[in-house]
A and B are shown apart, each in its own frame.
Chain A
Amino acid sequence: DIQMTQSPASLSASLGETVTIECRASEDIYNGLAWYQQKPGKSPQLLIYNANSLHTGVPSRFSGSGSGTQYSLKINSLQSEDVASYFCQQYYDYDTFGAGTKLELK
């Protein structure tokens, strides 16, 4: 199995701040990576696929980057509605997930 190590586990940031969440794969996943947002009691929502492609309807303040084994999700100009948990998924070889990052407002 490809292991996904996500960091940090939790994050506190101020409105307007830029935040970055990272996922490291145990082997090269060739950009087969997606990022999701999940709010309490809600279903996960796809944000980014293929490491850096923005899903339809997702605000442009979200962006993804990376290659090989290292990937990141960046949220520019943090908004109150961005308070949520975020997790990554690799789909290069079967599907495995990061443990998630809980984003709170400072």
Chain B
Amino acid sequence: EIQLQESGPGLVKPSQSLSLTCSVTGYTITSGYDWSWIRKFPGNKMEWMGYISNSGSTNYNPSLKIRISITRDTSKNQFFLQLNSVTTEDTATYYCASQGLGRFDYWGQGVMVTVSS
């Protein structure tokens, strides 16, 4: 069974970078799927942020393109989110998920990140 688990700091200061890790078990991230980050804002609006494919290419939400980077460590079967120059509007619960043929088949539990000084 594929399992995903997010980890990272729960509090980030404005203007700094948000960095999260998604650890995947039960499946090798180079074998298939695209590996995505999605966030859910207070008030429940959800936003797809971007993905890294199983081959290592990336695709980002145009609204975040200048601030976001998704990378991976295949030796650890992990992928990462970095979001730069955060503001309070980036406060959200961040999820990692596997995406195949459009839909998100497996999700992590989510990690709440607050941007505050």
Chain A, residues 26-57, CB within 8 Å of chain B (1/0): the string is 00000010101000011111100110000100
Among B95, B97, B102, which residue has its beta carbon within 8 angstroms of that of A32?
B102
With A43-B95, A96-B48, A97-B46 already in contact, the answer to whether A91 and B103 are too (CB < 8 A) is yes
Within 8 A of A (CB), among B71-117: 95, 97, 99, 101-105, 107-110
Within 8 A of B (CB), among A64-106: 85, 87, 89, 91-92, 94-97, 99-100
Q: Does B57 reach chain A (CB closer than 8 Å)?
A: no
Number of interface residues, chain A, beta carbon within 8 A:
23
Residue of B nearest to A48 (CB): B103
With A97-B46, A99-B44 already in contact, the answer to whether A43 and B110 are too (CB < 8 A) is yes
B95 pairs with A46, CB closer than 8 A: no
B102 pairs with A34, CB closer than 8 A: yes
If over half of A's interface residues share one DSSP class (helix, strand or loop), that class is named, otherwise mixed; here it is loop
Among A44, A94, A95, A99, which residue has its beta carbon within 8 angstroms of that of B107?
A44
With A32-B102, A94-B61 already in contact, the answer to whether A43 and B107 are too (CB < 8 A) is yes
With A32-B102, A94-B61 already in contact, the answer to whether A43 and B45 are too (CB < 8 A) is no
A-B contact pairs, 22 of them (CB 8 A): A34-B103, A34-B104, A43-B95, A43-B109, A43-B110, A44-B97, A45-B107, A46-B105, A55-B105, A85-B44, A89-B103, A91-B103, A92-B102, A95-B99, A95-B102, A96-B48, A97-B45, A97-B46, A97-B47, A97-B48, A99-B44, A100-B46
Interface residues of A (CB under 8 A from B): 32, 34, 36, 41-46, 49-50, 55, 85, 87, 89, 91-92, 94-97, 99-100
